[in-house]
Structure 1
Amino acid sequence: MTDTIQYQQAGHVGRLLLNVPQRHNALGGAELHAIRDILSQIQGDSTVRVLVITGAGEKTFCAGASLVELNSGKISGELFQETTDQLAALPIPTIAAINGNVFGGGVELALSCDFRFGVEGSRLRVPAAAIGLCYPVGGIKRFVERLGVAAAKRLLLAADQLDSRAMLEMGFLDYLVARESLADEVGAFAEKLAQLAPLAVKSMKEVITAVASGSLESARADALVALCRDSADLQEGFAAQKEKRQPCFVGR
């Protein structure tokens, strides 16, 4: 753990803070390894049902990997890619609370989350083509899978800069809110997700991810459906509806 990456859990919601505002929350080796450690911890913790990632300060959510450490050879692009891959592979829902501008690899970090909230007045740009860099293949694949070919070309080939409204229209953002409302809006959404049946949520996330990547295995999907059909959570859901109360799901 490092002071530049902070993590806390409240109830079933984990919150990860990128705490390097003086360098626009760019991530060096210490930060990337800390994030990976936290993601590994969450992977094995059934009490965490939702993860929120946000940045410190009001200027920038994340500027990607530290260019100083990349140029010096202290870190590699592969380490950043491994981190975003690990985030995308988490079985629980993940939310990017994009508190300001988002640049470079920070865009992919946000795309690795399931939901993205942005604030009015923010900007997005991936300057890879402007500096002569071919974005990593895994990252390009994520842009195409999450946003489509046309949007990926605008962001990667043309290095277009988008304002917050364009981010929403492109589908990069799921929700656009006033800056002062971000914490409350994200908090309410995370709590709502945390109250849903975790087994069903995890199963459907796995199936959706497999469909999007073209790797769906029918036998695995059928097994997940059966797992939820035979679960105690489903019985609890039926009982709660009948008794007109909030369900209390346990994830099995």
Structure 2
Amino acid sequence: MTDTILYERTGHIARLVLNNPARHNALGFEELAAIQTYLAEVREDEQVRVLIVTGWGDKTFCAGASLDQLGTGNLSGDTFQATTDQLAALQIPTICAISGNVYGGGVELALSCDFRVGIAGSKLRVPAAAIGLCYPISGINRFVERLGIVTAKRILLAAEELPAETLLELGFLDHLVQPAALDETTERLAQKIAHLAPLAVRAMKQILQQAAAGQIDEAQAQALSMQCLESEDLKEGFAAQKEKREARFKGK
């Protein structure tokens, strides 16, 4: 396993860290394979309630797929898309702590998370049109689903460079903070989500994702709702409200 991707879990919060700042945290075949392995581990670990994705270095969060490997054919867009699809499909909430500038496929990596925290002074650009590359189809669909067609055109067709303040206005960022506050803000959000009822959070995430895609599976949505109604967590939630204390959810 490459040391350019790090993973750890503390309590109910897992962290996936891009650890190649010398190459602007670009993702080659080894990095993508490691990310896929760790995401599979997250999926199977019932203790994980929130995943944080971030990167080391104060300049670039992620420069996207390795252009060197793409140019030589050692890396395909399909491999990158398989990774972002796997991240987006996780049932638990995910938070991207964007530690610097974000480019190319790094933008989609961030978009594949449920929440994004960015820092003042950073910027975003997807240069696919500037180098003659048509962005992968599932990636284009993710841009449209998450940001809308107008913003997707600005980012993909016009290859605009957008500052953090504009990204907040467009809804790409949920929170915009000073660099020194990134870790604290992200941790606070993760802790808040980790203390919510896991079954309810996962159920609503699945239904919200289906709604965003324009095709809610009514039978599945109803089954998810009933699972929450019949759960021990709901009983605990009502008891905590009545007793004026913090609920202790078990995800059952």
Normalised by the shorter chain, which TM-score bucket? over 0.9
User: How much has 1:176 moved relative to structure 2?
Assistant: 0.2
Name 2:87's counterpart in structure 1: 87
- Report 1:6-155 matches (<5 A): 6-155=6-155
Residues 201-216 of structure 1: pairs in structure 2 closer than 5 A: 201-216=201-216
**What letter matches 2:143 in structure 1?**
F
Q: What letter corresponds to residue 213 of structure 1 in structure 2?
A: A
Unaligned runs of 5+ in 2: none
Give the counterpart letter for 2:19 in structure 1. N
Secondary structure of 2:117 counterpart: strand
- State how far apart, in whole Å, the 2-side matches of 1:247 and 1:171 are: 31
Q: TM-score, structure 2 length as denominator?
A: 0.99
Q: 3-state DSSP class of the match of 1:8?
A: strand
- Which amino acid in the other structure matches residue 34 of structure 2? A
1:73 Cα deviation after fit: 1.1
Distance (whole Å) between structure 2 residues aligned to residue 155 and residue 125 of structure 1: 7
Question: Which is further off, 93-102 or 214-223?
Answer: 214-223
Q: 1:91 is matched by which residue type in structure 2?
A: Q
List per-residue Cα deviations over 1:9-35 (Å, max 9, x = no partner): 111000010001011100001100000
Letter matched to residue 101 of structure 1: N
Aligned equivalents of 1:163 and 1:216: distance in 2? 34
Q: Secondary structure at the match of 2:41?
A: helix
The one-letter code matched in structure 2 to 1:242 is K
- Measured in 2, the distance between the counterparts of 1:139 and 1:63 equals 16
What is the aligned-residue RMSD (CA, Å)?
0.5
Q: Deviations 1:61-109 (Å, cap 9, x if unpaired)? A: 1011001111111111100000000000000000000000000000000
SS of 1:109 mapped into structure 2: helix
What is the one-letter code of the residue matched to 2:86? Q
SS at match of 1:139: helix
Deviation at 1:2, TM superposition (A): 1.7
Q: Counterparts of 1:2 and 1:233 in 2: how far apart (Å)?
A: 39
Q: Distance in 2 between matches of 1:215 and 1:43?
A: 24
- Distance, in Å, in 1 between the alignment partners of 2:118 and 2:74 is 31
Stretches (4+) displaced over 2 A: none
Bigger drift between 117-126 and 238-247 goes to 238-247
**1:2, 1:47 → 2: CA distance?**
24
Q: Which residue of 1 aligns with 2:196?
A: 196
Q: State the SS of the aligned residue for 2:15.
A: strand
> In structure 2, what is the Cα distance between the partners aligned to 1:34 and 1:19?
12
Aligned residues: 252
Gaps of 5+ in 1: none
Counterpart-to-counterpart distance in 1, 2:87 and 2:54? 13
Q: Distance in 1 between matches of 2:167 and 2:217?
A: 33
Distance 1:41 1:180 in 2: 30
Q: Give the superposition deviation at 1:215.
A: 2.1
Report how far residue 232 of structure 1 moved: 0.4
1:110 corresponds to which letter in structure 2?
Answer: A
Task: Provide the C-alpha distance between the structure 1 equivalents of 2:23 and 2:207, rounded to a whole number of angstroms.
Answer: 37
Give the distance between the partners of 2:198 and 2:215, measured in 1 at CA: 23
Q: What's the TM-score once normalised by structure 1's chain length?
A: 0.99
Separation in 1, partners of 2:2, 2:190: 25
* Alpha-carbon shift at residue 131 of structure 1 (Å): 0.7
